[in-house]
Amino acid sequence: MIEDVYQRNLHHKTHNSGWLRAAVLGANDGLVATASLMIGIATAAPKASLTVTGVAAIAAGAMSMAVGEYISVQSQSDIEESDRRMEIEHLAADPEGEEAELAQIYVERGLSPELAKEVARVMHEKDPLEAHLRDELGQFEHTKARPVQAALASAISYTVGGVVPLFGALLWHFSHKSMGIVIATLLGLAATGAISSRLSGSKLPITILRVTIGGGIGMAITAGIGSLVHLSGL
């Protein structure tokens, strides 16, 4: 019975939320940022080295994403730890009041007052801190902030995403390298949308369209700016 419940819980997507958000964001940024920069350079200065531009963009972007993601998620982790310490102090100072507070939470969720008091009593006998972190503060182990995991997922996915438009520029033999970058990036965005849909359980066509159209707009704007710079001779 317990094993069946565990297996059913594995089908839920919430336990992926920590690293999935960082990975999808990193891959999408790697694709769009690298492609946009390379297209802008190719349009504004056709003779510039797209390989150097692409590699530099990937390296700088991956490090920036990793540091930014780490700082952001670490801030969330600090808040969670602060709440945890505060709850420990409250339980030590007024355990009866904390038990009554937990019972009130259960009442607000639909339990009768008598049943709520009984559930709160049992929860306090078992593990009062876990009960308050979960039911009062909404902290769960599977959604806990993990800064290092998020930073690594972001940096790796950014690098993987950034390599796609770089290969597009190197492998596609078009008269203008921008065409290869655009095609490779759109394919990469579609793949990112498909993977995101699979991991998050969202609808496949909508997710692919959202990711692809958003990235395409970013590339189009950058290409337009690059053309203006090229025409102006700056």
The predicted-structure confidence for 147-202, as pLDDT tens digits, reads as follows 888 888 888 989 998 899 888 888 776 556 778 888 899 999 999 888 888 877 77
In one-letter notation, the amino acid at residue 106 is Y
In one-letter notation, the amino acid at residue 179 is M
- DSSP 8-state assignment for residue 12: -
The predicted-structure confidence for 74-84, as pLDDT tens digits, reads as follows 888 898 889 88
Q: How far is CA 47 from CA 53, 113, 170, 227, in A?
A: 12, 75, 14, 14
Residue 61 clears pLDDT 90, i.e. is over it: no
CA count, 13 A, side-chain hemisphere, 124: 20
